[in-house]
Structure 1
């Protein structure tokens, strides 16, 4: 089922608003997540089979949702943060699914939080096994795979997981990145076999426009690697990326259209465009087309939105890449509709205790400080507003601490929340007076926004 992006909220200022696109929304049957079926907020599995629960492939076309980078630490992916993001995706854009991208918390923590948030928002989840791109050991992909399997076998959410997880991508451009070399096909086969008892479809997320590798050197047909991958694929999650293939924006749609027909003709399995993007500004680490800028970025997504009948005809869904953190092709930083006051702020706090303060006293103060995440209340929403809060004891071996032994990291949704916390929040102020006076010799505080230098 296609839901038009319509006026596209991420460019919704009067200067950049897009015209309403024609809606291709159908009235779906009682199925999930494109029909009327709902979890109704319950973490108990629906009283039906997985096959009965999920909407058929014939309904899975057009805009489905967003690629959702999860490239931070585990504490970046709290339930509260994920839930807020999924709420926005569904409320502001009509997303029905979310595609996880590069999950770098190598435990079940993020999957459990995703399940809870997806249930709360009636959204399906495309999970992903990824080879790390952040400098972590490449073999950590095995930890991600194991954490996903653990969700289905021993976790608290094992019964409902098949009703939340739509599918699992085994790698994102694993062929282009040569993940695990010649062992990759066997890795894919083994993972697919391990998750088969839970009826979860498995495939790779990849750009198949690799002549002589994924596709034949001629226009039609598969290449030698494509011929090995396709029999192990329950679906194709395609990277259709005219930007990275050097096209001008005005020619992007002809490339997209030709690629969709190539997949339809050569990969006879359900197809979703899992990654497609344009850049509004040059980024030296993500160079592609030279035809970049905010107008091109807007026009690129307008074109996708305007061609909903094509995606319905071809029965192809697509995810917008990406929701956040992806340089100059994410949702959070484009155009006048976004200002620095509306982007998250990381607030770093260091404590240097007086030497006479005991370890037990330091621990109690640290615990009281962390508790502010739940006791500091927004004057507007009347709810806690610190998005995430973590901390710990310094373990550096560089001897550059200058006596600071405890470090804490808070994240605020925007500058307004940060300013309220620093200048006005009575709970925060009381903590400082009651807990820190005569105990902490010095405090060092620094704030930053990710990627702003």
Structure 2
């Protein structure tokens, strides 16, 4: 199921003035000059060094500057070649001013090295992902171990991997008992602590609301699939309802929305839960403009603001959700969301 993911990281101190009711714009203040200078990764304008630095000190941009549009979800199930990854990542970075790609799906060949190398070459960061799937099988264990090995062995990995998402909607899909999932997250944090790579999960508000376990995480909420969905221009109250839940329950941690999109077509796996929900290219475009219009609201969220990913790069990956059609053409233009405001 496509959803909006919220990644929660370590707390950063910002202030909040008022709690809005759904549909009203929040009136919050931010206490920092949240624009990344071009001398930190992956700020726009940052020039990659010719070799990896000796330390992560002063490498990453302050997460408080990572609000508004940050990049694309990018499905890797096709096990794209290194040349394809390089081409796509360069376009994602240079044409659309992306700072990150967020991995989606899985590739069970040793493809994570290619993702890291392509990201380094394009000067773009990565939100990595351990994919569970939907069949309650145990392939995720091999994916976990292979990814950990690559993150430790590839010298570029810690310089491009901003976070590891331990599953996409694992609570909603009940892939593991919540206490077991929490143990896996804690173990992953320990495994990656020397690399300073945070570990999260990607989950819907409903997934969290169904369980009382506390997991440091990424989160998801659905718009097109909401029972209140109609047209994309009316989607902000749905976003705000779930966002406020995460603000209230996220303990001031950094939030990223890692799956955001509105389908241009329906299919067997993409059916609305509201008879009023409309799927077409115009509504896909309009949902993007709704997100973009609320840049200042995302900036003001405590914990360092909210960065959002567009789901997904191409219809070849997830039919209906891509910015590009299966013929390789932009479905609407321009796509130039705000990266600061």
Contact 2:164 2:200 in 1 (8 A): yes
Distance 1:68 1:328 in 2: 14
Please give the per-residue CA displacement for 1:282-307, whole angstroms capped at 9, x wherever unaligned. Answer: 21212124322222111111111222
Distance 2:287 2:265 in 1: 14
Please give the per-residue CA displacement for 1:383-440, whole angstroms capped at 9, x wherever unaligned. Answer: xxxxxxxxxxxxxxxxxxxxxxxxxxxxxxxxxxxxxxxxxxxxxxxxxxxxxxxxxx
Match of 1:167 among 163, 175, 187: 163
- Deviation, structure 1 residue 56: 1.0
Structure 1 residue 313 corresponds to structure 2 residue 310 = no
Distance 1:337 1:253 in 2: 28
Structure 1 residue 34 corresponds to structure 2 residue 30 = no
| TM-score, length of structure 2 as denominator length | 0.77
Please give the per-residue CA displacement for 1:311-367, whole angstroms capped at 9, x wherever unaligned. Answer: 22221000001113112112222899559xxxxxxxxxxxxxxxxxxxxxxxxxxxx
Structure 1 residue 178 corresponds to structure 2 residue 165 = no
Distance 2:247 2:71 in 1: 21
- Deviation, structure 1 residue 264: 1.9
- Deviation, structure 1 residue 165: 0.6
What is the match of residue 88 of structure 2? 85
Structure 1 residue 274 corresponds to structure 2 residue 271 = no
Distance 2:326 2:236 in 1: 21
Structure 1 residue 330 corresponds to structure 2 residue 327 = no
Match of 1:258 among 213, 226, 241: 241
Contact 1:238 1:275 in 2 (8 A): no
Tell me: CA distance 1:337–1:101, structure 2 relative to 1, closer, same or farther (3 Å). Answer: closer
Tell me: CA distance 1:335–1:79, structure 2 relative to 1, closer, same or farther (3 Å). Answer: closer
Contact 1:99 1:319 in 2 (8 A): yes
Distance 2:311 2:76 in 1: 13
Secondary structure of the 1:299 match is helix
Number of matched pairs: 287
Contact 2:172 2:206 in 1 (8 A): no
RMSD, aligned α-carbons: 2.5
Match of 2:281 among 275, 279, 294: 294
- Deviation, structure 1 residue 191: 2.1
Equivalences for residues 142-161 of structure 1 within 5 A: 142-153=141-152, 155=153, 157=154, 159-161=155-157
Match of 1:228 among 214, 224, 243: 214
Please give the per-residue CA displacement for 1:89-123, whole angstroms capped at 9, x wherever unaligned. Answer: 11221111110111222x4x322111211111110
Secondary structure of the 1:327 match is coil
Equivalences for residues 7-406 of structure 1 within 5 A: 26=35, 28-34=37-43, 36-40=45-49, 42=50, 44-47=51-54, 49-72=55-78, 76-105=79-108, 107=109, 109-133=110-134, 138-153=137-152, 155=153, 157=154, 159-181=155-177, 183-210=180-207, 214-215=208-209, 224-225=211-212, 227-229=213-215, 233=216, 236-246=217-227, 247-248=229-230, 249-267=232-250, 268-288=252-272, 289=274, 290-314=277-301, 315-324=305-314, 325-333=317-325, 337=329
Secondary structure of the 1:50 match is coil
- For the pair shown, which has the larger CA radius of gyration, 1 or 2? 1
- Deviation, structure 1 residue 257: 2.2
- Gaps of at least 5 residues in structure 1 are 1-23, 216-222, 340-453
What is the match of residue 363 of structure 1? none
Distance 1:91 1:101 in 2: 21
Secondary structure of the 2:206 match is coil
